[in-house]
Amino acid sequence: MLEGFNEMDELTRSGSLPKMSKEEKDKLARSETFAIRISNIANMFLFAAKVYASVRSGSLAIIASTLDSLLDLLSGFILWFTAFSMKTPNPYQYPIGKRRMQPLGILVFASVMATLGLQIILESIRTLLSDENDFSLTKEQEEWVVGIMLSVTLVKLGLVLYCRSFTDEIVKAYAQDHFFDVITNVIGLIAALLANYITDWMDPVGAIILALYTIRTWSMTVLENVNSLVGKSAAPEYLQKLTYLCWNHDEAIKHIDTVRAYTFGSHYFVEVDIVLPAGMPLQEAHDIGESLQEKLEHLPDIERAFVHLDYEYSHKPEHAQSHH
């Protein structure tokens, strides 16, 4: 908490947070873009390899693990597409930007994922209940499947280690994706081999475990993104930081009426009500409000800040929600 307050003091003193130089920024952006590109290309090739392994083996567990790769591919495409469309703003049609594109894309995508996962679970249960479940691989099929799945897993492990070295959220999300892929590949391969060597029911059971795992990870993502669409309040600690920043902004501020921060896509919208002396000239009051707004918008998590000036605080706060 004190660290957060020190950061606000730094912002009050120098008017900006410590930033990287332009060269450092460009270098970092280039290597981040490279990490994302290489992840996408790898996902495409590895997905093709796993589709081939699924066709060769007919193993439900490997099909479930391939489905997870398809998700990675699609999620990569959605992240890229939403980032691209957010970069092309249209101030007339979308006056406050398109920040909600990303969570919306992820929601649509997650519902598709859940449906596919359920499909695999149903198919696996059907296989378990039916009698003609004879799962076997020829020696050649087995070599192919093991070879493909192991090489895919190794490539993914390398990508996990590479992407984890970045601080960027999107690259970290890719690292997480690659890590899930390593787990699903290993489970899929083990289930297929157990079914081949020990007993047939191992394969559909492995597929059910994988499908449930996929649905669980995606439902977590959905919950996070629903919050950012609905406009959930920031954590109390964050609001304290903002209040501290507002309070130290100018000696003339007599009272802070409200400080609100709520999610808007991946960032926050902030509303602040400050109380200034009643006799203060408009010019001075306006400058205090505007500089506070700029200061708040300097913070990395904040998309827009709205500062409302008042001369008393006994009234009800503005924007009371209407109850019909």
Domains of the chain: 18-228 (1.20.1510.10), 236-310 (3.30.70.1350)
Q: Which residue did the predictor score with more confidence, 186 or 3?
A: 186
Residue 167, pLDDT above cutoff 60: yes
Ranges of H-type helices in 198-281: 202-230, 236-247
pLDDT(276) > 60: yes
| Confidence (pLDDT) at 159 | 86
Q: Is the dihedral of CA 112, 118, 121, 123 positive or negative?
A: negative
Query: How big is the CA angle at 89 (ends 111 and 112), to the nearest 5 degrees?
Result: 10
Quick check: 172 pLDDT over 70?
yes
202/82: higher pLDDT: 202
Query: Within the chain, how many helices (H) and strands (E) appear?
Result: 9, 3
Residue 110 burial class via C-beta count within 10 angstroms: exposed 0-12, middle 13-18, buried 19 and up: buried
Residue 205 contacts residue 191 (beta carbons within 8 Å) = yes
- Angle (nearest 5°) at CA 303 between 298 and 305: 75
Among residues 301, 314, 178, 288, the alpha carbon closest in space to that of 234 is found at: 301
pLDDT (0 to 100) of residue 306? 93
Q: Which of 36-50, 132-146, 198-212 has the lowest mean pLDDT?
A: 132-146
Which of 122-126, 176-180, 220-224, 278-282 is the most confident on average?
A: 278-282
Mean pLDDT (whole number) for 135-156: 78
For the chain, how long is the longest CA-to-CA vector?
90
Q: Which residue has the tokens 């700029």?
A: 294
The larger pLDDT score, comparing residue 50 to residue 293, is at: 293
CA 86 – CA 83 distance, rounded (Å): 5
pLDDT at residue 174 above 70? yes
229 vs 306, residue with greater confidence:
306
The model's pTM is 0.60
| Residues of the chain above pLDDT 70, percent | 87
The mean of the pLDDT values for the chain is 79
* 272, β-bridge pairs: 259, 307
C-alpha–C-alpha distance, residues 124 and 131, integer Å: 13
- What is the pLDDT confidence band of residue 322, given thresholds at 50, 70 and 90? low
Mean pLDDT to the nearest integer, 138-152:
79
**Three-class SS state of 316:** coil
Q: What is the pLDDT of residue 92?
A: 74
Q: Report pLDDT for 271.
A: 93
Interatomic CA distance for residues 287 and 235, integer angstroms = 29
